[in-house]
Chains A and B, each alone.
Chain A
Amino acid sequence: MTTLPLLSLLIWTPIIGAALVLFGAGERNNGSTAKWLALVTALVTLALCVPLYTGFDTTTAAMQFGEQSPWFTISGLNINYSLGVDGFSMPLILLTSFTTVIVVIAGWEVIENRVSQYMAAFLVMTGLMNGVFAALDAMLFYVFWEAMLVPMFLIIGIWGGPNRVYATIKFFLYTFFGSVFMLIALIYMAIQAKSFAILDLHQLPMSLSVQHWIFAAFLIAFAVKVPMFPVHTWLPDAHVEAPTGGSVVLAAIMLKMGTYGFVRFNLPIAPDASLAWADVMIALSLIAVVYIGLVALVQKDMKKLVAYSSIAHMGFVTLGFFIAFALLKSGNAMQATLGVQGALVQMISHGFISGAMFLCIGVLYDRVHSRQIGDYGGVANTMPKFAALMMLFTMANAGLPGTSGFVGEFMVILAAFSANFWYAILAATTLILGAAYSLWMYKRVVFGEVNNSHVAELEDINKREQLMLVILAIAVLALGLYPKMLTDLMEPTVQNLLHHIMQSKAGA
């Protein structure tokens, strides 16, 4: 295979690109040099994903594209710069690199002041997020995980809306709060396992009571990030205040880091505790799906509505993971696979759909400077192309078959049926609730009479906006029509995970 350090390139290309944008291009030519440089960097990063995808061996669950070099030693434990991807992380790296290109295009004309710094912040984020997904060393993972808060903090705080300071500090402290417990758990386990390598931690035998503590520590960290009910309150605030690009990254990728944490840490490291906690987790997930779905229904602000719908959709992901435990207990491995895979598909699909929804809202906001649903009406009359594209994303958000939104939810609901009839019924309400809030919002914004002069003066989306929305539309449809291209990537890794978690570690 290739001898290039592909994963390192995926991490460092955007970061070095960011430095070039910031110090090389600066604000010259009103930032247009910076924009082009940022776009080139984002495209190069995306291009680097091509060999990653084509060279990925879909027959094995082993870590691929591995890189390892010693970083330094702390208390006799080696911290390594070790990278590698499996079927869980590889698709997320693709998603991250893909989203960056969209974000750069989305910010092209919208961001007027300090363009170079805006672009640089997003490129740094990209590198760090790729690092989170590629890290195989727990401490390296933690470094990337935490470092990523800093650019996001600045993005919301500098380019955000009127209430940005409150939102950004809340965002930072909530996520930092979670991470602190993760750090102590990591230290504890590393000392037990005498290694910081995540794969070594997977093998570490632990008694059930220790597992409970470890599980709880990780749960706090990841539940905040996902976000799960009841620690979700930072997300609507952060979304509402963030600039469009920030919302896209937040919804499309950062939330996935939380659920990624579950499959990378909670499930394999504390399988017995995961089993014990499964009912609680399923309950919380169902609350997210039903209750937050209802909350979304009453929102007057479009961004808030989509933010709450994100929480509901992420509830499906956690539901999928923990349904698997209930199924494994009854020996139903087939359906367990379905649940986990559905959750993973949902992760990727939600990345596309929520990103697209926030971009659509951004398009409207740039023209009218309002996100209130009540300020719109009859947009279809003045912006037909936009209305058509947004319809697709709204439908996908509601889980229309043929779009990616359907696939993940369907798989999870199917798995839920084999576990417990009531789980499935409750989960399936999302099809009603999702359709209700998505379509109702769409109806109020896009259809009907042109109800004010602002809407009457709207111009349809330009080439740039068309480009980014069409790319996303293709992604949503492609994944919806042919999910096999994603599930095949994950198959061996999912099997390996299920095989791993079926064995109790507590007795050892």
Chain B
Amino acid sequence: MQDISFAPLAAELFVLGMTCLVMLVDLFAPGPQRRNSFWLSQIALFGALLITINLAPAPSALLYGGHFMLDSLGTVLKVGLYIVTAISLLYARAYIAERQFMRGEYYLLSLFAMLGAMVLITAHSLLTIYLGLELMSLSLYAMVAMQRDSKQAPEAAMKYFVMGALASGFLLFGMSLLYGVTGHIGISELASAPTEQGQLVMYRFALVFIIAGIAFKLGAVPFHMWIPDIYHGAPTSVTAFLGSAPKIAAFAMIMRLLTEALPSLHEDWMAMLAALAIASMAIGNIGAIAQSNLKRLLAYSAIAHMGYFLIGISSGTSEGYAASMFYILVYALMTLGGFGMILFLSRAGFESDNLSDLKGLWQRSPWYALLMMLVMMSMAGIPPFIGFWPKLQVFMAAVHAGQTWLALTGAVFSLIGCYYYLKVVKVMFFDQADDKSPITASTALRVAISANGLAMLVLGLFPGTILAYCLKAFAG
């Protein structure tokens, strides 16, 4: 019996420890301020970041009986996850303070959700994947329900829970079929399990259920119905988190379950993902046009973005996977910017989430209107903003893989998508403001939102670094 080293788990253990510490501190913290929880959470994220970077593996290692994979894919995704979570907590801080949320619990649940995502990212067996997924999902269900005095939030939480449970059920059923066919739960064993002709039907059956589960979690058409309602109903700070961090984890899940576990079925899942991609781009982009609520608009745009994202994976090449990874990281940053701006404009008792609330923002606070424009243009995929480059790479991967038609479809839908992003810009810049008073917010929030918005331009001018990391994650 060899010694088990816990060093590769250091980041997860650190986050877990810090989360417990937040819980304790919060329990004994006097008064309603409880600002320590915020700082402790940020320290947890920063610490985890340092640990993860220090642990960066070369080459990748399969640990703990094949349940845990330490590879550069995981490292890059985790770093992205920490950054996204840190920004979302920063945005959430003032928002939840004004709305009398239970602050300590908010940070706690965010950290637990992130821990679940971390487990999901490094998981390398069906069991750990499911564990990570459920830890993440359960924390998110609770977060959606946190605003108890709101009418929409509990309803959204209920829907989310029912839908999420259903999706988990699908996924679990697919996984159990896989286990039934092969007798293995480890991703590596599944990949190398011999496929006999007679079992192929069973494999495909399992695949359908697994893809349905994943599509539910991602919000890809036709499993997208819950997205607009839940994005709209959840408190905005939760939506910001919900729209960004779990997508990164979901990417890891797709990678592990499809490309690593079922490479022999790649023709089947490539076709399925391509169909999901086209449907998502179509429904998402067309649905968004009709929205007058900004949160719903961003929700439909999220569905559309999942479509572009799936194009990369469905190309079935490591170039395509890297493209999708790039896409999901950039998307997380863009969506945080979008929801962050709604948070920024909202005041206590007033959700600034209708398109008309943005009217004449340019006259009120030109700088923030400009930032929001950067985010919208980036989402629309207009160069030189960062959103353009992952789209380009996704299309390139598709063309490279001989799927020029898919790239062309994506390009045409991005044209349709352009319309509603322009509509947001139009409302901000060309309409007259009803209320001309400038927006006020704390310095920290203003700096954060400025940094997030400017990142759209700066990263867009220098996209090489992120891209290089994404490519490296699939290089060896």
Q: Do A and B bind each other?
A: yes
User: Given A73, A139, A176, which contacts B418 in the complex, CB threshold below 8 Å?
Assistant: A176
Q: Which A residues from 17 to 76 make CB contacts under 8 A with B?
A: 71-76
Contacts of A143 in B (CB 8 A): 383-384, 388
Interface flags, A273-309, vs B, CB<8A=1, else 0: 0000000000000000000000000000000000000
Q: Smallest distance from the beta carbon of B1 to chain A beta carbons, Å? A: 46
Q: A117-B366, A184-B411, A188-B404 are in contact. Are A142 and B418 (CB under 8 A)?
A: no
Name which of B90-98, B243-251, B351-359, B394-402 contacts chain A. Answer: B394-402
Which of B362, B383, B395, B414 has most A Cβ within 10 Å? B383
Given A180-B411, A180-B415, 12 new contacts (CB under 8 A)? A73-B468, A75-B393, A75-B396, A143-B384, A154-B429, A158-B362, A158-B430, A164-B430, A169-B423, A187-B399, A187-B407, A188-B404
A110 an interface residue at 8 Å Cβ cutoff?
Answer: no
Q: Bound complex: CA of A76 vs CA of B415, how far in Å?
A: 27
Q: Smallest distance from the beta carbon of B389 to chain A beta carbons, Å? A: 7
**Are B464 and A71 in contact, CB atoms less than 8 angstroms apart?**
yes
**Are B396 and A187 in contact, CB atoms less than 8 angstroms apart?**
yes
Contacts of B395 in A (CB 8 A): 183-184, 187
Main secondary structure of the interface of B (DSSP, over half): helix
User: Given A146, A164, A191, which contacts B399 in the complex, CB threshold below 8 Å?
Assistant: A191
B46 an interface residue at 8 Å Cβ cutoff?
Answer: no
A181 an interface residue at 8 Å Cβ cutoff?
Answer: yes
**Are A74 and B422 in contact, CB atoms less than 8 angstroms apart?**
no
Contacts of A440 in B (CB 8 A): none
**Are A72 and B384 in contact, CB atoms less than 8 angstroms apart?**
no
**Are A183 and B392 in contact, CB atoms less than 8 angstroms apart?**
yes
Contacts of A164 in B (CB 8 A): 430
Name 25 A/B residue pairs within 8 A (Cβ), A-sorted. A71-B464, A72-B462, A72-B463, A74-B392, A74-B396, A75-B323, A75-B393, A77-B396, A143-B383, A143-B384, A143-B388, A147-B382, A147-B384, A149-B382, A153-B422, A154-B429, A158-B429, A164-B430, A169-B422, A169-B423, A172-B422, A184-B411, A187-B399, A191-B396, A191-B400
Interface flags, A146-187, vs B, CB<8A=1, else 0: 110110011001100000110011001100110011011001
Binding site for B on A (CB under 8 A): 71-77, 117, 139, 142-143, 146-147, 149-150, 153-154, 157-158, 164-165, 168-169, 172-173, 176-177, 180-181, 183-184, 187-188, 190-191
Chain B interface residue bracket vs A: 35 or more
Q: A72-B464, A75-B396, A165-B430 are in contact. Are A150 and B382 (CB under 8 A)?
A: yes
Q: Smallest distance from the beta carbon of B56 to chain A beta carbons, Å? A: 21
Q: Smallest distance from the beta carbon of B83 to chain A beta carbons, Å? A: 20
Contacts of B400 in A (CB 8 A): 75, 191
**Are A181 and B411 in contact, CB atoms less than 8 angstroms apart?**
yes
User: Given A71, A142, A169, which contacts B426 in the complex, CB threshold below 8 Å?
Assistant: A169
Contacts of A183 in B (CB 8 A): 392, 395, 411
Q: Considering the complex, give the chain B residue whose CB is closest to the CB of A146.
A: B383
Q: Smallest distance from the beta carbon of A88 to chain B beta carbons, Å? A: 23
Q: Considering the complex, give the chain B residue whose CB is closest to the CB of A189.
A: B399
Q: Which B residues from 364 to 414 make CB contacts under 8 A with A?
A: 366, 373, 377, 382-384, 388-389, 392-393, 395-397, 399-400, 404, 407-408, 411-412, 414
Q: Smallest distance from the beta carbon of A436 to chain B beta carbons, Å? A: 37
Q: Smallest distance from the beta carbon of A419 to chain B beta carbons, Å? A: 35
B109 an interface residue at 8 Å Cβ cutoff?
Answer: no
Q: Bound complex: CA of A375 vs CA of B373, how far in Å?
A: 39
User: Given B399, B404, B415, B429, which contacts A157 in the complex, CB threshold below 8 Å?
Assistant: B429
B71 an interface residue at 8 Å Cβ cutoff?
Answer: no
**Are B383 and A147 in contact, CB atoms less than 8 angstroms apart?**
yes
Q: A74-B396, A146-B383, A187-B396 are in contact. Are A180 and B412 (CB under 8 A)?
A: yes
**Are A146 and B467 in contact, CB atoms less than 8 angstroms apart?**
no
Interface flags, B428-470, vs A, CB<8A=1, else 0: 0110000000000000000000000000000000111001100
Contacts of B429 in A (CB 8 A): 154, 157-158
Contacts of B399 in A (CB 8 A): 184, 187-188, 191
Contacts of A150 in B (CB 8 A): 373, 377, 382
Q: Bound complex: CA of A187 vs CA of B389, how far in Å?
A: 12
Q: Bound complex: CA of A181 vs CA of B395, how far in Å?
A: 12
User: Given A74, A154, A168, A187, which contacts B467 in the complex, CB threshold below 8 Å?
Assistant: A74
Q: Bound complex: CA of A150 vs CA of B456, how far in Å?
A: 14
Q: Bound complex: CA of A157 vs CA of B412, how far in Å?
A: 24
Contacts of A165 in B (CB 8 A): 426, 430
Q: Bound complex: CA of A236 vs CA of B218, how far in Å?
A: 44
**Are B407 and A157 in contact, CB atoms less than 8 angstroms apart?**
no
Q: Bound complex: CA of A191 vs CA of B382, how far in Å?
A: 21
Q: Bound complex: CA of A77 vs CA of B389, how far in Å?
A: 13
Q: Smallest distance from the beta carbon of B394 to chain A beta carbons, Å? A: 10
Contacts of B382 in A (CB 8 A): 146-147, 149-150, 176
Identify the 10 closest CB pairs spanning chains A and B, nearest first.
A72-B464, A143-B383, A180-B411, A157-B430, A146-B383, A75-B396, A143-B384, A187-B399, A75-B319, A187-B396
**Are A173 and B392 in contact, CB atoms less than 8 angstroms apart?**
no
Which of B319, B323, B397, B408 has most A Cβ within 10 Å? B408
Q: Smallest distance from the beta carbon of B38 to chain A beta carbons, Å? A: 31
